[in-house]
């Protein structure tokens, strides 16, 4: 039994989509979530800068005695997780665009990937795509502008609708039947995606898979918290707390922290 918290970080509020899956699967685990919104978006930063920010977030979570860290950000995972794993001894769980299920199941032989520039240009993303994209058209689209709008509480705004219409057009023109969400902010686009995409397009998001992997790794390392008591789930942001509070439906404790 282990009551130490699970640490979770993202460039901002997007990783709450992962927290929600983890909390649903592991309702008794304590957790600490860091929303580095002051430095969002990570997606347009250099690999070096993404590593530096990921190390800073990790150091803070380790100082709070976290037993495992979930890198709830595709951009940070694809650019920094190998270094984090090589540097620290606790387990790290990451998230990457789920190309494999899309590539294996597509009937139209065309799949779309919406992700940040940092993710799409990473070596890890290219390795995975090369492995599964044989005979398939992969339409990669940088989700330019999406993260800042979500960080400002505009996930379902008209501004977002116009932006998404533009980003999705090349994929719809290529007749995709799968869209892979390659950024943890993007599940919050679901209402607009369902409105804008043709009905036959399936949307793939890796949130649940990350939660299942978190559970497996906790079990394997005997780190599960077996207490059936109400956990402490803490949230910290280094910008104002309103949007983070709203996205969590005001159900958790959200505080400002200067990190
Ligand atoms: N949630 C991050 C991701 O999954 C957002 C990236 C960003 O800050 O640009 O990639």
Question: Domain holding 222: CATH number?
Answer: 3.40.50.1860
Q: Which of 116, 150, 187 most suits a substitution to test ligand 1, by most atoms within 8 Å of the C-beta?
A: 116
Q: Which residue, of 204, 220, 244, is where some domain finishes?
A: 204
On whether both 84 and 106 belong to a single domain, the answer is: no
Shared domain for 69 and 197, answered yes or no, is: no
Number of domains in the chain: 2
The answer to whether residue 21 sits within a structural domain is yes
Average pLDDT, the chain: 97
Say whether both 124 and 170 belong to one domain: yes
Q: Is the same domain home to 25 and 75?
A: yes
196 falls within a domain: yes
Q: Is the CB of 218 inside a 6 Å radius of any atom of ligand 1?
A: no
Q: Classify residue 187: in a domain, yes or no.
A: yes
CB of 205 shorter than 6 A to ligand 1:
no
Query: Is 21's C-beta closer than 6 angstroms to any atom of ligand 1?
Result: no
Based on the fold, state whether residues 62 and 109 are members of the same structural domain.
Answer: no
Domain match, 80 and 163 both: no
Q: Ligand 1 centre and the CA of 43: distance in Å?
A: 6
pLDDT digits (tens, 9 = 90+) for 135-181: 999 999 999 999 999 999 999 999 999 999 999 999 999 999 999 99
Which tens digit of pLDDT belongs to each residue from 24-45?
999 999 999 999 999 999 999 9
Probe ligand 1: pick from 34, 45, 75, 80, max atoms within 8 Å of CB? 75
9 lines ligand 1 (CB under 6 A): no
Residue 1 inside a domain? The answer is no
Residue 75: its pLDDT value, please?
A: 97
Judge whether 90 lies within some domain: yes
Provide the percentage of residues in the chain whose pLDDT is more than 70. Answer: 100
Q: In this structure, are 87 and 127 located in the same domain?
A: no
Catalytic residue numbers?
A: 73, 183
Q: Is the domain of 175 the same as that of 47? A: no
Q: Which atom of ligand 1 is nearest to the CA of 45?
A: 9
Indicate if 144 and 190 belong to the same structural domain: yes
Same domain flag for 112 and 200: yes
The vertex-50 CA angle with 94 and 92, nearest 5°, equals 25
50 lies in some domain: yes
Q: Is residue 235 part of a domain?
A: yes
The answer on 78 and 48 residing in a single domain is: yes
Q: Ligand 1 center to residue 227 CA distance, Å?
A: 33
207 lines ligand 1 (CB under 6 A): no
Tokens of 31: 């957790």
Domain of 168, in residue numbers: 99-204
Atom of ligand 1 nearest to the CA of 39: 8
- pTM attached to this predicted model: 0.97
Is 47 contained in some domain? yes
> Mind listing the pLDDT tens digit of every residue in the chain (259 residues)?
699 999 999 999 999 999 999 999 999 999 999 999 999 999 999 999 999 999 999 999 999 999 999 999 999 999 999 999 999 999 999 999 999 999 999 999 999 999 999 999 999 999 999 999 999 999 999 999 999 999 999 999 999 999 999 999 999 999 999 999 999 999 999 999 999 999 999 999 999 999 999 999 999 999 999 988 999 999 999 999 999 999 999 999 999 999 9
Residues 136 and 191 in one domain: yes
Report pLDDT for 1.
65
**Cβ of 14 below 6 Å from ligand 1:** yes
pLDDT score, position 38 = 97
């Amino acid at each position: 039994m282990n009551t130490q918290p699970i640490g979770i970080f993202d460039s901002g509020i997007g990783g709450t989509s992962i927290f929600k899956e983890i909390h649903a699967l592991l309702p008794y685990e304590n957790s600490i979530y860091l929303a580095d919104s002051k430095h969002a978006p990570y997606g347009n930063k250099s690999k070096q800068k993404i590593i530096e920010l990921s190390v800073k977030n990790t150091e803070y979570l380790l100082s709070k005695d976290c037993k495992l860290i979930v890198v709830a950000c595709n951009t940070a995972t694809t650019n920094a997780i190998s270094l984090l794993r090589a540097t620290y001894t606790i387990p790290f769980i990451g998230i990457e665009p789920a190309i494999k299920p899309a590539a294996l199941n597509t009937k139209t032989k065309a799949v779309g990937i919406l992700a940040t520039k940092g993710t799409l240009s990473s070596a890890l993303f290219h390795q995975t795509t090369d492995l599964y994209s044989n005979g398939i058209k992969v339409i990669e689209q940088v989700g330019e502008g999406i993260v800042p709008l979500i960080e400002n509480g505009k996930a379902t705004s008209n501004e977002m609708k116009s932006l998404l219409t533009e980003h999705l057009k090349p994929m719809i023109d290529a007749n995709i039947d799968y869209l892979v969400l390659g950024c943890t902010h993007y599940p919050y686009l679901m209402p607009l995606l369902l409105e804008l995409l043709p009905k036959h397009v399936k949307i793939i998001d890796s949130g649940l898979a990350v939660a299942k992997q978190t559970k497996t790794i906790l079990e394997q390392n005997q780190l599960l918290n077996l207490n059936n008591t109400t956990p402490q789930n803490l949230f910290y942001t280094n910008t104002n707390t309103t949007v983070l509070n709203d996205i969590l439906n005001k159900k958790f404790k959200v505080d400002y922290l200067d990190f």
